[in-house]
Amino acid sequence: MFRKDSGFYSRVDDAIKGNWFMLLFWYVAVNSVSYFMSYSSDILVFKNYFGGINIIDIKDFFFTEFSFDSVSFSIGLITSILGLMLNMEILSFVRTKKFDIKNFGKYLINYPVQIIGVSLILYVVQSLVSYIPIVGFFIDYFIYFAFSYASYLVLVEKEKNPIKVLINSWNHTNGVKGELLSKYIHYFKNGLIGMIVKYTGLIIATLSVSNKLIYMVAVILAMLGFVASIVYKFKNSPYYYLACAMYFKEHMEYKGIRL
């Protein structure tokens, strides 16, 4: 069973030297609209809390009302497509040491069915799963890791059927999903702690409306957690996505598959 060796993260550090800002720039560019919408919603939440809330309704933290917004869906799908192509180009960068954003157009011309099909299927499934209270969070991450090889396989295997691409990703990640999770935790553990602090603070504030001191301390704590999660997410995302591509390459070579 394939496992990353003790020097894996050192190799990632070596590979990213001189390329961190470039990878961050394109990561932010691809996700800019999606992040703007997401963080704008978070800022509105904090604005409401600083203005004071009158209704204690804890279920709003755990249940999301189902609704369909065609604009949000389109933006999410486009972001998913661009993200998939960015992963393809990062793998190309790992293989050739060259990053060329113009390859996005070539990928879309050469693999339109695979790219759009895989992105659409995963985006729809993960969007639906997100409406499942609490458990949906864990299912979403399981789906993410199980099919995390899909973007690379579009480039490597030349399989035209997007469903088969996803099946192949599932098969290739058998036995290594824990390894994929460990990489995510390695790079984003501080950001995850920030998110936990954020939601814990908001829940405490929601339950402490009558006590102004506890309420304000909890809201400020939640905001600090929110800021920390953003900082660590942007700081370590280039490392994480480069590590994913490197791990895939080494895993395939271990299995005797030439890239």
Amino acid symbol at 179: E
46/202 Cα distance (integer angstroms): 9
Structure confidence by residue, pLDDT tens digits, 225-250: 999 999 999 999 999 999 999 999 99
Q: How confident is the model at residue 61 (pLDDT cuts 50, 70, 90)?
A: very low
Residues 6+ apart with CB under 8 A from 113: 160, 161, 162
Dist CA 215 CA 209 (whole Å): 6
Find the angle CA(164)-CA(138)-CA(140) to the nearest 5 degrees: 40
Separation CA 150–CA 156 (nearest Å) = 10
Among 245, 254, 257, residue whose Cα is nearest residue 152 = 245
pLDDT (0 to 100) of residue 67: 55
The pLDDT of residue 63 is 47
Contacts of 74 (CB under 8 A, 6+ apart): none
Which run of H or E residues covers position 47?
Answer: helix 20-51
User: Between vectors from CA 147 to CA 3 and to CA 256, what angle results, nearest 5°?
Assistant: 45
Return d(Cα 128, Cα 35) in angstroms, integer: 19
**Would you give the end-to-end CA distance of the chain in angstroms?**
20
What is the rounded average pLDDT of the residues 78-105? 96
Q: Is the pTM higher than 0.85?
A: yes
Percentage of the chain beyond pLDDT 70 is 92
Query: Alpha carbon of 146 to those of 113, 178, 212, 216: distances in Å?
Result: 21, 10, 45, 41
* Residue 55, pLDDT score: 44
The pLDDT, as a whole number, for residue 54 is 46
Residue 76 above 80 pLDDT?
yes
Percent of the chain residues topping a pLDDT of 90:
67
pLDDT in tens, 102-143: 999 999 999 999 999 999 999 999 989 988 877 888 999 999
What are the sequence ranges of the domains in the chain? 8-254
Name the average pLDDT for the chain.
89
Which structure tokens are listed for 158? 């030349």
**For range 166-174, the mean pLDDT:** 96
Confidence at residue 33, expressed as pLDDT on a 0 to 100 scale: 83
Q: Which residues of 103-123 are buried (b: 16+ CB within 10 A; e: fewer)?
A: bbeebeeebeebbbbbbebbb
pLDDT of 56 over the 70 cut: no
d(CA 23, CA 241): 9
For residue 52, the model assigns a pLDDT of 60
pLDDT band at 68 (very low <50, low <70, confident <90, very high): low
Mean pLDDT of 94-98: 94
